Structure 1
């Protein structure tokens, strides 16, 4: 059974729509993912219980109910992953949670230079899909995290990429 037990260590993400020199940087985060058997008292299934995460999706939404993609929130994104998690173990997975393109389009581009709002708080729902080594697709697993978007005052001059 695949579990997502943490995003970004449980800390909200502060996403700068432009750094000090005007560069647009993506935002990355970490997911803590665990793989446990459905029956904790059952025998180990060996490699047959191992999982490989293959893809992810990030969907954004707001608490005020305004959730039109490209108007109120960024468009959802999908991506490929390749991370094995052995049975009865955990792994930390890095992924891009906000792409550069999202910061070049409304509503995030509206924040540049103080735009229509100082800070916009959104939530990202991250969903991952995995398969077992015997090619059985598992159920997807999801978790959510808060992201605060703004054109923060900073001195950063280059993007931080893990």
Structure 2
């Protein structure tokens, strides 16, 4: 094979591969999923906020709940004078979510430095209007496992500060994958309940 043909083939491959990268990152759906708000409520409470103080020891192990408000928007809304109108095909059905905890110091071993990740199932169809979804952010059993179990009895003197990265996965009405993600701060401790 002549040298220039090989070079042309390599250049063509690089151009095609570079063009595919954006599709892999952004997907091929004509809609995108938008996180309008991500909040959490400590176990046994219905008071949601954008910062969670998770109590690792209460009268019983309660999960901490998360609540996200999602909506769908068109990737190409059309010109300002004649915007594209969404159709019934422009909805996304969420089927699962994943919560991963991380620390700012880089320590991330699950079950030692941070709680184990949470994989959950949820089925909700999201359209153009805001749709709230409640999910388990911190499992009840996580409060009975290290590292959260080691905080019990410290009366708030020991705090584990993490960020919870929450990803939502689903597909549009045509079956194309759609994802969205958000983060919030979670402080774990045996908070003083007086």
Pick the TM interval, shorter chain.
0.7 to 0.9
Distance 1:99 1:24 in 2: 9
Displacement of 1:44 = 2.4
Greater fraction of residues in helix: 2
Corresponding residue number in structure 1 for 2:98: 57
Runs of 4+ with >3 A deviation: none
Corresponding residue number in structure 2 for 1:3: 34
SS of 2:89's partner is helix
SS of 1:48's partner is coil
Among 138, 149, 153, which residue is 2:188 paired with? 149
- TM-score normalised according to structure 1 size: 0.86
Q: Is the 8 A contact 2:156 2:190 kept in 1?
A: no
Distance 2:116 2:50 in 1: 23
Cα RMSD after superposing both structures: 1.8
Q: Is the 8 A contact 1:4 1:142 kept in 2?
A: yes
The reply to whether residue 24 of structure 1 matches residue 58 of structure 2 is no
Displacement of 1:147 = 0.3
Corresponding residue number in structure 2 for 1:101: 141
Figure out how many residues of one structure are paired with residues of the other and give that number.
151
Corresponding residue number in structure 1 for 2:54: 15
SS of 1:39's partner is coil
Distance 2:124 2:75 in 1: 21
SS of 1:114's partner is coil
Q: Highest relative contact order (Cα 8 Å, sep 6+), 1 or 2?
A: 1
Corresponding residue number in structure 2 for 1:158: none
Displacement of 1:117 = 5.4
The one-character-per-residue Cα deviations of 1:93-121 (angstroms, maximum 9, x if unpaired) are 11110001111111000001018952111
SS of 2:115's partner is coil
The one-character-per-residue Cα deviations of 1:11-64 (angstroms, maximum 9, x if unpaired) are 210100111x3x111000210111001112252241100111110000000001
SS of 2:110's partner is coil
The one-character-per-residue Cα deviations of 1:104-154 (angstroms, maximum 9, x if unpaired) are 11100000101895211111000001111222222x211110001111122
Gaps of 5+ in 1: 156-162
